[in-house]
A and B are shown apart, each in its own frame.
Chain A
């Protein structure tokens, strides 16, 4: 993972490209994320129904690939989706995965990819 790639993944995206957290079709929680950092923070704060809703639809994967351009994270999220976790277990696993990834990206010496 180059510094350039890390910078791109960690950047703040425009409002129209943010991730908007819903709990079901058309029901927006009011929480959104314009960066990986915010995404990580929202995972801990948002209604767990929202995490279940988006994970099942592949929304998290889609956003991490298409907006953040982070294929590694998208694969990890897909793995979590296939694990069948729900509720707080799901939240914990998602947060663990994203926060570890975030720390590695913000640590210039990281070689975990």
Chain B
């Protein structure tokens, strides 16, 4: 990894380490080192640097809510706002634990898109009606309740590496 003028450049080994961690973040540095033919201390140093640079933001467990017996409703909420208030509304939305993801986006107009979790449809509506709609700058809200999830994945470093022909 190179750091120049606060800009980070990852080399092939960094990307391969990231891919290994994405495949299984519980594997040991020794196992990663063996697979990549580098020492475990090199893996350790590189991982540590990437954590310090916030390239690696954390490690987690991916939980299947249905199998865990957690009642849940997921929805994609599009919030149309006064352009002057968009950032403020997005920041406030981001503070709610019911809001899993928030983005500002641009198509014909600047909107906020959020993925929202609730225990039921009524709870979802109550949240949007009493917490989101009253926010200063909110003009309109469109909510799509997710009925079926066909795919959920994360960006794979492997795809990025292939683009760079590494």
Contact = CB atoms under 8 A, between A and B. Distances in A.
A32 B129 CA distance: 11
A16 B134 contact: yes
B139 interface: yes
Interface residues of B, number: 21
B143 A29 contact: no
B145 A20 contact: no
B125 A15 contact: no
A29 B80 CA distance: 11
Contacts, number: 40
B81 to A, nearest CB: 11
B138 interface: yes
A98 to B, nearest CB: 20
Main secondary structure of the interface of A (DSSP, over half): strand
Interface string A4-33: 000000000001101010100111111010
Interface in A54-75: none
Contact of A30 (B121, B122, B140, B145): B140
Contacts of B75: 26
Contacts of A15: 134, 136
29 contacts: A15-B134, A15-B136, A16-B130, A16-B134, A20-B129, A22-B125, A22-B129, A25-B124, A25-B143, A25-B145, A26-B77, A26-B124, A26-B125, A26-B142, A26-B143, A26-B145, A27-B141, A27-B143, A28-B128, A28-B129, A28-B133, A28-B138, A28-B140, A28-B141, A29-B140, A30-B80, A30-B139, A30-B140, A32-B133
